Amino acid sequence: MNRPLILYALIFLMVAFWSGNYIVGKIALRELPPLLVAGLRIGFAGLMILPFWAWQWFRESACATKTNPVSAGVGQALSPAKSIISGHRVILRLLLLGVFGVTLNQLFFIVGLSRTSVAHAAILIGLTPVQVLILACLRGQERMTFQRAAGMAIALAGVALLKAFEPAAAAGATWLGDLFTFLAGTFFAIFTVFGKEVTKLHSAVTVNAYAYVGGAVALAPVTLWEISRHPLAHISAAAWLAVLYMALFSSVIAYLIYYYALTHVAASRVSAFSYLQPVFATAMGAAILREPVGAPVIAGGLVILSGVYLVERG
């Protein structure tokens, strides 16, 4: 079996799920406010990933018991103070990673999507590989080259082109919406770079379980407050299906694939696949939502993707 082929097929599937996320997000936002969409998405994702985490925990516990039943039973008791301190540090690190990589990423994404067009959101998320590279270089994971620096400059020039010549009102895009979307990509870049370091110690299921369950708990007060203001009984089936899609496919499955890929491929190379999202998402936005795609979007998108391509190849 060709493992690299399977790996890249999974990454392509992940990109397809994330590209559809822009469309279903717009559908959900027709009936629900952004904070409620984000809260429901993360809450449902937390519930969906718990069975995966429980299955993994029971399997690992059973394997540990079979391998060394004595140490499995008394290992924790040998140094309880160290075990407790170490355990608390691990949990805190996983929760912080989840807050930045999942909760804030998806919260800012939904809020940004509610104030900008699918094309703008997808193109700005396409800048994530540049953000990943900068953070990875600062962390000593990768090195900066002249080609990569030039690619970043070109990508940023593309953003300027995108915003300078397109009439924002006509495209349904605003500066604030684009800013929130850009920040969503920034938080995901943090998740990618720091998550790469955590992959050596924890599985994809463990990291995502802490991220989504922790995020759901953190957003619970806001989610419950929004539910009290918007009765769920009035939500249509289409909106519910959109939220469930965002929770299952765009969150749980896509994030598990992404985290699995990080254990086999460099962080900047994995994130570089996000440059496919603008192509897929913009096409779907035009076909399904009838969003206009003007010349500035096409020109700015091509310049941005050219810069990202240079970054990824450098």
Residue bearing the bigger pLDDT, 125 or 246: 246
DSSP 146-194: HHHHHHHHHHHHHHHHHHHHS-HHHHT--HHHHHHHHHHHHHHHHHHHH
What pLDDT is recorded for position 117? Answer: 84
Segment 35-64 mean pLDDT: 86
Mean pLDDT for the chain overall: 78
For tokens 């939500």, the residue is 235
User: In whole angstroms, what is the distance from residue 290 CA to residue 172 CA?
Assistant: 12
Residues in contact with 174: Cβ distance below 8 Å, sequence separation at least 6, in sequence order: 115, 116, 168
Structure tokens, 203:
């599985």
- pLDDT, mean of residues 48-66: 78
Between residues 312 and 188, which one has the greater pLDDT?
Answer: 188
Is residue 128 within 8 A of residue 258, CB to CB? The reply is no
pLDDT tens-digit series, residues 141-161: 777 778 777 877 787 777 676
- The residue ranking higher by pLDDT, 163 or 134, is 134
The answer on pLDDT for 73 being more than 70 is no
3-state secondary structure string across 198-256: HCCCCCHHHHHHHHHHHHHHHHHHHHHHHHHHCCHHHCCHHHHHHHHHHHHHHHHHHHH
The rounded distance, in Å, linking the Cα atoms of 18 and 241 is 15
Neighbouring C-beta atoms of residue 122, cutoff 10 Å: 30
Q: Tell me the whole-structure pTM to 2 decimals.
A: 0.76
Number of neighbouring beta carbons within 10 Å of residue 240 = 15
- How far does the chain reach from its first CA to its final CA, in angstroms? 30
Give the DSSP letter of residue 294: -
Distance CA 236, CA 60 (A): 41
One-letter amino acid for residue 98 of the chain? G
Q: Tell me, what's the pLDDT at 268?
A: 63
Scored b (16 or more CB within 10 A) or e, 146-181 reads eebeebbebbeebbebbbeebeeeebbbbeebbbbb
Least confident of 5-14, 55-64, 207-216: 55-64
Q: What is the pLDDT of residues 264-309, one digit of tens each?
A: 777 666 766 766 777 778 778 778 877 776 676 777 777 777 776 7
In this predicted structure, the answer to whether residue 228 has a pLDDT above a threshold of 50 is yes
What confidence tier does 211 reach under pLDDT thresholds 50, 70, 90?
confident
> Which residue, chain included where needed, has tokens 């193109």?
123
Residue 71 banded pLDDT, cuts 50, 70, 90: very low
The helix/strand/coil state of 31 is coil
Question: Closest by alpha carbon to 121, among 288, 282, 302?
Answer: 282
pLDDT tens sequence across 34-46? 999 999 999 999 9
